[in-house]
Amino acid sequence: MEERFNLIDEGWIPISGKNPASLREIFSATDCSELGGTSIQKLAVLKLLLAIAQRAITPKDTKEWEALGVEGLGKACSQYLEQKHDLFYLHGERPFLQFPILAQWKTNKGEPLPIMPIGRPYHPDIPSDNDTVINQMQLNRIPNDAQKALFLVSIMNYSFGGKRVSYIPPLSEGFDSKGKSAKSGPSLGNYNGYMQSCFWGNTVLETVWLNLLTRWELSQFPQWEKDELIPPWEEMPEGEDDEVARRLKSSYMGTLVGLSRFVLLQEDGVLYAEGIQYPSHKEGWREPFMTLRGEDKVNFLDMGRKPWRNLDALLSLSLSTVDRGITCPQIQMLLPRTRKAVSSFGLYSGGLKVRGNAGDQSVKQTDDFINSLIWLDSQVLGQEWFQTLEAEMKWLETTAFILKRCVSNYLKELKEIKSSLEEVAEGDFWRYCESIFQDIVYACDSPDRLPSIRQSLIRYAEGLYDTYCGHETARQIVSWVKHRPNFRLETKKEG
């Protein structure tokens, strides 16, 4: 089989404002400023880049990490890629992260496995047979090799759970946990979708460097203290539960590049079957990017509460030593060194909100990709700045609560309880807050700027009350006046 489309040489990685980049360009260029694509594509590609970096060079401790720097990491990764060039072909005798044996496999009826359409490659899934097609954007199109590569990388950790796979008997002898419905990818989770967080640099390469774990950080996870960090493209398993599969399943590499699907790309689609079955968070699955609530619970994505609203909680342990109930190992472990290493950095959180029905995961109704990126100034981070941020976050929560309560009281008095306009008003308020939240974060270092920001938020909240609480009829006017909030006074009372 002809070897073609090498991921090291060909452009396939989405870069904001630029043409897709190759792996070589990512590790050698400084003008690849930010990963593009959906939140899942960003996370999946970043994890692949991290897997390459961890294999190329894993520093012993923070001192070695600092000495390595962005440039040193780029050189080490470039050297590694040149040495392993033959392992990164998308097509060939040994295609990247794929299982050529699927081409020989037969169904229970003795027929070749069906070639499934990739469909819309921005989702880490293949379309259902009964998908309703409303417009041309939903039509299945044969993606090019760059899109196939991105799809392949995305499904390894973020594939949807469900029956949209070809059933094949277990490839590992004695493995009896396989069914007609496949488990979801380990980084997506088998419920609503895990919220994942990491650091963001001013270039893609700096982002990789900021998130690179040292041997000391790996030792904080007992199961990874002696991890050999062998990536799957160097040593692929032959089945779901052989020695290599079990090693990948329990290794740090499994959190970066899992093999939750066994696939083989075809010219017009993909052979697609369940791969290694990873445990859920209830069965102990943990990875540094996961955002946790306490010790036992995972923080799922919530379209009504975007990740930026948890910024103070994510930073609390590092900046105030107070546990606010939400933590992320990646942030908590690496924040001290990041503040010293760079003058500014981003805190990224995101994922894909999904829902399950009869074992199938899908994106429906309000579900969507979630992206949250907040930039922080290393010099101002400290207890005083953090206390100001906490106060502003509390003020926002109070203002949103007052707005919702006042709209609700107005509706109740007019017997319009079922309209749920109070939820709509609150959602509109939070969307506006999201649009100016970066300004709020920067203003926490200059408190004299905060009153004007609060005034603009109050005016917006008052406008929302007026919009959703009609005041045209006499009866409406009475209720509108009676329940109209005085945010300047009531926020002080609530505080």
- Tell me what pLDDT residue 492 has: 61
- 143: tokens are 């993606």
- Tell me what pLDDT residue 401 has: 95
Grouping H, G, I as helix, E, B as strand and the rest as coil, residue 100 is: helix
Between helix 329-341 and helix 62-83 the angle, nearest 10°, is 100
- Number of helices and strands in the chain (H, E): 15, 14
Token pair 């990017």 is found at 289
User: Taking Cα atoms as reference points, which of 189, 177, 197 lies closest to residue 239?
Assistant: 177
Query: Tens of pLDDT along the chain (495 residues)?
Result: 678 999 999 999 999 989 999 999 999 977 788 999 999 999 999 999 999 999 999 999 999 999 999 999 999 999 999 999 999 999 999 999 999 999 988 877 778 889 999 877 678 888 876 555 555 555 567 789 999 999 999 999 999 998 888 888 888 888 887 778 889 999 998 778 999 999 999 999 999 999 999 999 999 999 999 999 999 999 999 998 999 999 999 999 999 999 999 999 999 899 999 999 998 888 888 999 999 887 678 888 988 899 999 998 888 877 877 777 788 999 999 999 999 999 999 999 999 999 888 778 888 888 899 999 999 999 988 888 999 999 999 999 999 999 999 999 999 998 876 678 999 999 999 999 999 999 999 999 988 999 999 999 999 999 999 999 999 899 999 999 999 998 877 666 555
pTM of the entire predicted model: 0.93
Give the single-character DSSP code of 38.
Answer: -
Grouping H, G, I as helix, E, B as strand and the rest as coil, residue 374 is: strand
User: Taking Cα atoms as reference points, which of 485, 449, 491 lies closest to residue 466?
Assistant: 485
Cβ neighbours of residue 49 closer than 8 Å, sequence gap 6 or more: 23, 26, 204, 208
In this structure, the number of other CB atoms found within 10 A of the CB of residue 136 comes to 7
Cβ neighbours of residue 325 closer than 8 Å, sequence gap 6 or more: 293, 294, 313
- What distance in Å separates the CA atoms of residue 69 and residue 444, rounded to the nearest whole number? 30
- What distance in Å separates the CA atoms of residue 335 and residue 314, rounded to the nearest whole number? 10
